[in-house]
Amino acid sequence: MAMGRPLFTESDVSRIIEMAWEDRTPFDAIERLYGLNESAVIALMRREMKASSFRMWRKRMQGRTSKHQALRNPAIQRAYCATQYKPR
């Protein structure tokens, strides 16, 4: 651990950013997989993205209930659309 931050591979950082951008992936899923709570994800996004991209992401995420497991409709049991990951 460097300066209190977990070390992630470039691939991990890329996946965390991808998950954070996805509408249906709650912050809870990122925390389960990578140990980063919402504020840590925000810090990572701020550090890894261009300022304009970060602002766009924050604006998009503001008030989005799908990013918070506790606020989601209980009927939704998945974190992504069933057709999102298609076999090749």
Q: Assess whether pLDDT exceeds 50 at residue 49.
A: yes
Is 23 domain-assigned?
yes
**Domain count across the chain:** 1
Residue whose entry in the numeric block shows the structure tokens 């974190």: 79
Q: How confident is the model at residue 88 (pLDDT cuts 50, 70, 90)?
A: very low
Q: Which of 15-24, 49-58, 59-68 has the lowest mean pLDDT?
A: 59-68
Average pLDDT over residues 60-64: 80
Q: How confident is the model at residue 67 (pLDDT cuts 50, 70, 90)?
A: low
Is 82 domain-assigned?
no
Count, in order, helices (H) and strands (E) of the chain.
Answer: 4, 0
Q: Which two tokens stand for residue 8?
A: 């992630």
Q: Assess whether pLDDT exceeds 90 at residue 87.
A: no
Query: What is the residue range of 40's domain?
Result: 10-65
Is 53 domain-assigned?
yes
Question: Within 13 A of 80's CA, how many CA atoms are on the CB side?
Answer: 12
Is 16 domain-assigned?
yes
3-class state of residue 80 by DSSP: coil
